[in-house]
Amino acid sequence: MDEGKALKIRLTFSVILVGISLMFAAVVTDHWAVLSHRVEHYNSTCEAAHFGLWRLCTKQFYIQDKATKERSCGVITLTGDRNCSYFKHFSPGQSTEIFERTTQKEYSISAAAIAIFSVGFAIIGTICILLSFRKKMDYLLKPASMFYTFAGLCMIISVEVMRQSVKRMIDSKETIWIEYYYSWSFACACASFVLLFICGIALLLISLPRFPQNPWESCMDAEPEH
């Protein structure tokens, strides 16, 4: 592997590490979506919830803005009392009745399982690319690039499953939630998809042999890599 190619691989791998960090941040945190319910009286307590792949947190705060539209909680603050618990289907001893009432648990299980596949693909890709830095093992760059691409695709599928879960909660007449927004964990997941997918494709292109510069050349005629 020549120095120019090795430099490109190291730069691409640096960006991939950023994408992996964002992916881990999204998977382990619980700020994918923030929900609020309808309120009937102002100067009262409003309950909001934020959740991720594994855990649901509810918190209460006081409403002080009388001009809030649509009788929602208005601007949701992250301060105040917070009660967090893991989803019942992941931790049987925990209680998450609010979440069980508002969406099907299959959505949560599917999103978490797909995210675990994404983490696994990223770990295997990292092992392959680290081994590729050894002499005569640069053939591992191609599978590494595919693993990173698959990791990005799995993450965006998990994002879509979570988005559908939130949409069903808001649209359902059996729920108390009327307002929502996606938070920073959701943004980390989307950013990790962009970085892992693009850099996976870039790594694949870098690992390919040099294309012939002239029409009459073939790949076998290209100068060998040192």
Which residue in this structure is represented by tokens 């997941």? 189
pLDDT at residue 156 above 90? yes
Helix (H) or strand (E) holding 51: strand 45-51
pLDDT digits (tens, 9 = 90+) for 10-66: 999 999 999 999 999 999 988 888 877 665 555 556 777 777 888 877 777 666 555
What global pTM score does this model have?
Answer: 0.76
Spatial CA neighbour of 89 closest among 108, 72, 64: 108
* CA gyration radius, the chain: 23
- Residue 140 DSSP symbol: G
For residue 49, the cross-strand partners are 35, 58
Note the pLDDT of residue 160. Answer: 93
Note the pLDDT of residue 126. Answer: 94
pLDDT digits (tens, 9 = 90+) for 111-155: 889 999 999 999 999 999 999 887 777 888 899 999 999 999 999
Distance CA 98, CA 91 (A): 15
Long-range contacts for 66-72 (Cβ within 8 Å, ≥24 apart)? Answer: 66/42, 68/42, 70/178, 70/179, 71/38, 71/39, 71/40, 72/36, 72/37, 72/38, 72/39, 72/178, 72/179
Q: 110-125 in b/e burial notation, b at 16+ Cβ within 10 A? A: bbbebbebbbebbebb
Note the pLDDT of residue 168. Answer: 78
Rounded mean pLDDT, 163-184 = 75
43 three-state secondary structure: coil
Residue 138's contacts (CB-CB under 8 Å, 6 or more residues apart) are: 1, 132, 207
Distance CA 134, CA 34 (A): 46
Residue 134: φ, ψ to 5°: -75, 165
Torsion angle of alpha carbons 164, 170, 171, 173, nearest 10°?
A: 140
pLDDT digits (tens, 9 = 90+) for 70-125: 455 655 555 555 677 766 644 444 444 555 544 456 777 888 899 999 999 999 99
